[in-house]
Amino acid sequence: MEEGDSAGLYHEKKRLATTVYNGEYRYYEKLGFTDYAPKVFQNIREICGIDNEIDRRYLVKTMTKKEHSFLLEVLPLFHQYILKQPNSLLCRFLGCHSMQLPVGWNKMFFVVMENIFPDGPVDERYDLKGIFHQSNFRYQEGIPTPVSSDWSRSGREEERMVLEEVEGMLSESQSVDSELGQVTEKQPLLRRGSSRPSLRYDNDFVIRRASLCVNPTTRANLLAQVTSDCGFLQELGIMDYSCLLGIRHYNRRIEPDIMDNLAHNAIVSADQSTVYYLGFVDILQHYNIDGKSSTACWRL
């Protein structure tokens, strides 16, 4: 996509409509579907190496009209950022659509985005915001409760907290043995009656003394990418986003064919026995007058 020809593509809309027969009132009603900036999102999919095959690597999420409007507003900047930062950990938006249902004539907005955990189930899942709060604290006897921090924070404070969180959870490994030694099996955090691990938070991450054990080069590259991504979100005035972390334990050295097919946001541990998945989600919350009012309320 040529940059000079793309200005009008960000505002392009492709509408599809069909009619359905309402037997009760004996008239036809329209079912409308709108594809926003289709060529732009197609280009983003091409940048990410995505084809049209069905492989369950993507999610569809509904959003409010305000979030929809904000996404289209920042789409040119988001598009250019992904072009320049192909290794970005920002949630990849791959399509923006709306559907108008005959019943009530309400328009539903939704976005197609890349799954943060595209390579299948993980053993541990964390939603990290750089804050501690009693509402998501799971008490364990003998372990002190982390001090609750202030929920009121600006975009720059959010950036600083996330950077501190990521830097703190990175455990640098200076050397890697040629042969992988005995690996202690870590039990996944599972919900009762479910094979899917429950979602944990900052408090749980600290309580479990979890960390990302990576080599120095990976650590430096990851911190640089997180710094860039957080800076971009701060420039857009985006607040209250989360760093979603998934951990999968292989308990042995990962086979080469698996390594070659890992997702772009997959980070392999220094001993090559664990894969970490990182991604920034909930990035459509703009720090506007509503956010400032919320901050003021929290400070009260």
- CATH number of the domain enclosing 53: 3.30.800.10
Q: Same domain for 290 and 153?
A: yes
Distances (CA, A) of 102 to 13, 16, 109, 111, 228: 20, 14, 15, 21, 44
Q: Same domain for 131 and 273?
A: yes
Given 114, 136, 168, which residue is the final one in a domain? 114
Q: Same domain for 277 and 151?
A: yes
Residue 246 lies in a domain: yes
Kindly report the pTM of this predicted structure.
Answer: 0.72
pLDDT tens-place string over residues 135-186? 444 544 444 444 334 444 555 666 666 666 667 666 655 433 333 333 334 4
The pLDDT of residue 102 is: 67
77 CB-near residues (< 8 Å, 6+ apart): 236
Given 87, 114, 141, which residue is the final one in a domain? 114
pLDDT tens-place string over residues 205-255? 888 888 899 999 999 999 999 999 999 999 999 988 999 999 999 988 999
pLDDT tens-place string over residues 196-219? 568 899 888 888 888 899 999 999
Q: Same domain for 151 and 238?
A: yes
Answer with the residue of higher pLDDT: 235 or 8: 235
Nearest to 281 by CA among 150, 145, 116: 116
In this structure, are residues 109 and 95 in contact, taking their beta carbons and an 8 Å threshold?
A: no
What does the pLDDT average to over 9-25?
71
Angle among Cα 273, 210, 154 to the nearest 5 degrees reads: 125
Q: Same domain for 140 and 275?
A: yes
Given 73, 95, 114, which residue is the final one in a domain? 114
What is the span of the domain harbouring residue 47?
Answer: 3-114
Residue 300 lies in a domain: no
Task: Name the domain count of the chain.
Answer: 2
In this structure, are residues 132 and 185 in contact, taking their beta carbons and an 8 Å threshold?
A: no
Residue type present at position 26: R
Give the dihedral of Cα atoms 288, 224, 269, 203; nearest 10 deg: -30
